[in-house]
Structure 1
């Protein structure tokens, strides 16, 4: 996915990108638009699912939902280190890691709608570009 997700992006900027993409999609032929929406329905994600995964499961499971495997493994490893620290008696390290993970995860929980909208916009834009780039050039006879 080429577009990065930013917690700090203004809502208006995201809405402007979404509106621009809608206009571009509407300019596609009927067959291309049908293909776009059919493929998009397979790729887009639900913000509520992302939020539930973030809320109920520790270790970054919600990152798997968006295909962010490196983030998932990093958080899972940190969680395992924290748990092992508690088991082996190094509670200070475990607490610090858990506080850091919570500090990183809470904003993602509260911003889940925005994060998934950004993800869906980026996925939709990539799909649009694939469809638009496979289009045959217009050959107008003179």
Structure 2
């Protein structure tokens, strides 16, 4: 297209009402009903480094990793419930083992805490005084 053709085209569209034609227009592609929106998020560098490492370990991009976490929380799929049921099963196992070792005058308790998306389980000894305990 030469300069004269461009000027003529510009003149035509500057002075012509095309609203009727535009109202009849239909998209030639499907429109996503759930479009993505870009946002900016400030994270401390160590946290972003951790996000990058976790995303790489799951073969995904950091933004996808963060979105998946948020979607799970939104959908009520927070995995704390799973940790709690696993902790109860572990406590029951430890209680069974403790009952078998009662003669040692010790009792075990289990504590769990979430740290960086993982469950950390600590088994602690509690010394219990028994009036009818025997010494080994």
More strand, by proportion: 2
For the criterion TM > 0.5, the same-fold answer is no
TM range (shorter): under 0.3
The structure with more radius of gyration: 2
- Scaled by the length of structure 2, the TM-score of the pair is 0.26
Structure number with higher relative contact order (C-alpha < 8 Å, ≥ 6 residues apart) = 1
